[in-house]
Amino acid sequence: MNIVYDILVVLHLLGMALIVAGVVMRLTAAQSPSGMVLMSGAGAQVLTGVALTGIASAGLVDNEVDNTKIAVKLGIAVIVLVLAHILWRRPQGAQGLFYTLAGLTLVNIGVAVFW
């Protein structure tokens, strides 16, 4: 099961990279299809994050699960996913939503690394 877990960690990091790529795309080219990239990355984060937590909670790998940390990450990731969906459907939507998405993604990276 360790190999499955490690592959999911790789996919989790690639999902994060997709969100960052979507943010950079929108900052550098307003007409780019950044909404779809943001949606894909945010969706990947929720799916891979839940799968990682499930495997660890089931005791299939030797990793501790901090439920409070995971609850915070999940809450933030769902908001990021909703914002990505709004920006995908309405690319010209409020710029504040975009900066909120970028900021919350940074917060979740901080939670992942420093908590």
Nearest approach in angstroms of CB 77 to ligand HEM is 4
Nearest approach in angstroms of CB 74 to ligand HEM is 4
- Do residues 5 and 55 lie in contact, with contact meaning Cβ atoms separated by under 8 Å? yes
Nearest approach in angstroms of CB 57 to ligand HEM is 9
Give dist(CA 30, CA 93) in Å, integer. Answer: 11
- Do residues 60 and 17 lie in contact, with contact meaning Cβ atoms separated by under 8 Å? no
Cα 23 vs. chain centroid, distance in angstroms? 12
Which of 24, 50, 72, 97 lies at the binding interface for ligand HEM (CB under 6 A)?
50
Nearest approach in angstroms of CB 82 to ligand HEM is 12
Q: Using CB under 6 A, which of the segments 27-35, 46-54, 83-91, 95-103 binds ligand HEM? A: 46-54
Residue 109 binds ligand HEM (CB under 6 A): yes
- Which residues, in sequence order, are CB contacts of 41 under 8 Å at separation 6+? 15, 16, 17, 18, 19, 20, 21, 22, 84
Residues of this chain that bind ligand HEM (CB under 6 A): 9, 12, 16, 45-46, 49-50, 52-53, 56, 63, 70, 73-74, 77, 80, 105, 108-109, 112-113
